[in-house]
Amino acid sequence: MKAQESKGTSRLLVAVAVMAAVAALALALWGCAPQATTSMAATGGDAEATEEAAPSMYPDFTDRTSGNFNDTFSTTDMLNAGNRGCNACHEDLWDVMNMKDGYKHILTHVGYDKALTYQDCEPCHRGHTALTGPYLGDLIHAAHYGSKVFQEANGNCWSCHAMNSAGGQGDYQLVLWDDFYDEPALGGYPNIDGNEMEQAWVDSRGFFGGFVNGMTQDEAPAIDVKLDQAVTDHDDVFIVNNWGPEVTEKNGEPFSFDAVCSEENTVSLTGVKNPRSFTKAELLAMPQTEFTMALACATNGRGGSLVSNIPMSGVSVAYLIEQCGGLADGVNAVNATGYDGWQAFPPMNLEASTYTENAYIALKYYGEDLSQDDGAPMTLVSLGNPGARQVKHIKSIDFTQDEAFFQGPMMAESDEPSPSYPINGMWFQEDGVTAKVGEPVTLTGAVYSWNRVVGDLASVNFSFDMGKTWQDVKIADQVTDFDPFQWVTYSLDWTPSKAGKYQVKLQATDVNGVQTKKPVTLFVNVEE
């Protein structure tokens, strides 16, 4: 507690009133939950089956468990840290997403055998947009408060939410637990991060290191980090399909995915001096460029697995423009369209350099013809740009003159309607890694940037003390032939010096000093 706050009795009363109001709201919402039968969306199957499965599907939310946190009063009774959030009930949200018969999600394969989490779903479903589907809050609230199973498990607002008091005095916000569980402010000390006075106050009450979550800290970790730019195993490549073989109708018209992927399809260039179309056979006869690029979904969540470092080969779009006599006079913008109707950036055009520089018609992945999932027969790729600029089943690249083309950062800096992460990273391990004191444990993962949006990566950063201090590993020190269009993989050997539970945090920094919006956390349990 700040000294000036203790003097302001009126402020304290306001704060108490606010908390009381929030509690009343939570109780009201709980009381308003409909006494309906078990929701199919929440549980799948028929009502009888789900009623029988209820005890194993959901814990009792009144249980006090710590999960990945230490078993202390603050994490069990006060925070109920291990029995909140999506993954307290759903080990893998992929199973929830696919349990309704006949439902087809555009994400058809999650990379690296990673469990799907809320962080993967949020970027697309955070906003109310036609492109990203239903609003996540609507889906979650309807599924849970319409579920008898959730009610009988004593579920309520706090099963999914936490209170963020990190704003100004009296500014309290109800946030999703999954967005807040790894914040230093967890537990009601909003200014604890970097505030020595507040950390000392918390220390005096038995919370070593100033954090009430009980996590062990290592300010001088014994680590050895190796960096590389390894390619993704083919089986680990994520797959997002806007359509697919199951779709036979689109907008009331017959739709054939086989036709979309036909080897007879051509790609055309317009807005050039001599517009023309090219067959796949013609492109294969042209000079081929081999390259590797980090392909990351534009809405890949924080720490998400929708990123792959893929070896490709194909024809430079700049070369095709030359074959067409160059760009037409006055051209400054471009858009691209696939045979499935996908556009690079509807309803606006993009800056022409999106496809005049470091852009290719990819004809092969891993030395093989593109599969339907890859975007057969040809895919337009723009190195250093988010996945939405990579147009599968490419039909046309249309250069034009447009004084109102999109000049922003490709949605990279926006939080609404969908958060995007132009600098991101991931752990290849799941939470709950075990290690022993004095014995090295190897942690692996990758970082990447949309360097056409922000800048080239400069370093990989690790923290073992809740983000108070960081160990910076310079990429240039280890990757002498660094390719800014690829990701950077890391192998981190850490020898823990004391037992406990740790939040190992990962972030990356680019050449301009821009960092990952929010570090990616991995829980590691170190035993004696």
- What is the value of pTM for the model shown? 0.85
For residue 269, report the phi and psi dihedrals to the nearest 5 degrees: -120, 125
For residue 409, report the phi and psi dihedrals to the nearest 5 degrees: -85, 35
Question: CA 193 to CA 302: how far, in whole Å?
Answer: 21
**Sheet of 457-463, strand order:** 433-436, 520-527, 500-510, 457-463, 471-474
Cis peptide before 123 (omega within 30 of 0): no
Q: Retrieve residue 178's tokens.
A: 């999954």
**pLDDT for 411 beyond 50:** no
What mean pLDDT comes out for the span 412-422? Answer: 63
315 vs 55, more confident: 315
Q: What class, spelled out in words, does domain 222-230+418-527 have in CATH?
A: mainly beta
What mean pLDDT comes out for the span 138-143? Answer: 86
pLDDT confidence of 74, banded at 50, 70, 90? confident
pLDDT in tens, 437-474: 999 999 999 999 999 989 999 999 999 999 989 999 99
Q: Work out the mean pLDDT of the chain and round it to a whole number.
A: 84
Lowest mean pLDDT among 88-97, 176-185, 282-291, 467-476: 88-97
What mean pLDDT comes out for the span 307-313? Answer: 98
Give domain 234-400's CATH superfamily: Oxidoreductase, molybdopterin-binding domain (3.90.420.10)
Question: CA 128 to CA 339: how far, in whole Å?
Answer: 26
Lowest mean pLDDT among 8-12, 36-40, 322-326, 377-381: 36-40
**pLDDT for 390 beyond 80:** yes
pLDDT in tens, 247-259: 888 888 899 999 9
**pLDDT for 407 beyond 80:** no
Lowest mean pLDDT among 99-103, 266-270, 378-382, 493-497: 99-103
135 vs 234, more confident: 234
Range among 156-160, 166-170, 397-401 with highest mean pLDDT value: 397-401
Range among 199-203, 377-381, 513-517 with highest mean pLDDT value: 377-381
pLDDT confidence of 130, banded at 50, 70, 90? low
Question: CA 150 to CA 96: how far, in whole Å?
Answer: 14
**DSSP tag of 251:** T
Helices 136-145, 118-125: inter-axial angle, 10-degree rounding: 120
347 vs 430, more confident: 430
Q: Retrieve residue 184's tokens.
A: 């230093």
Distances in whole angstroms, Cα of residue 524 to Cα of each of 227, 273, 437: 21, 59, 12
CB 495 within 8 A of CB 439: yes
Q: What amino acid occupies position 94?
A: W
Task: Kindly state the greatest CA–CA separation across the chain.
Answer: 80
pLDDT in tens, 259-292: 999 999 999 999 999 999 999 999 999 999 999 9
Question: CA 388 to CA 78: how far, in whole Å?
Answer: 43
**Residues in CB range of 326: below 8 A, 6 or more apart:** 272, 273
pLDDT confidence of 479, banded at 50, 70, 90? very high
Question: CA 198 to CA 502: how far, in whole Å?
Answer: 21
For residue 322, report the phi and psi dihedrals to the nearest 5 degrees: -60, -40
Lowest mean pLDDT among 90-99, 136-145, 362-371: 90-99
Question: CA 345 to CA 361: how far, in whole Å?
Answer: 18
pLDDT confidence of 5, banded at 50, 70, 90? very low
CB 335 within 8 A of CB 364: no
**pLDDT for 300 beyond 60:** yes
Question: CA 104 to CA 98: how far, in whole Å?
Answer: 8
Q: For residue 57, what pLDDT is reported?
A: 56
Question: CA 446 to CA 194: how far, in whole Å?
Answer: 27
Domain boundaries, the chain: 3-210, 222-230+418-527, 234-400
Q: Is 80 helix (H, G, I), strand (E, B) or coil?
A: coil
Q: For residue 8, what pLDDT is reported?
A: 36
Q: For residue 420, what pLDDT is reported?
A: 78
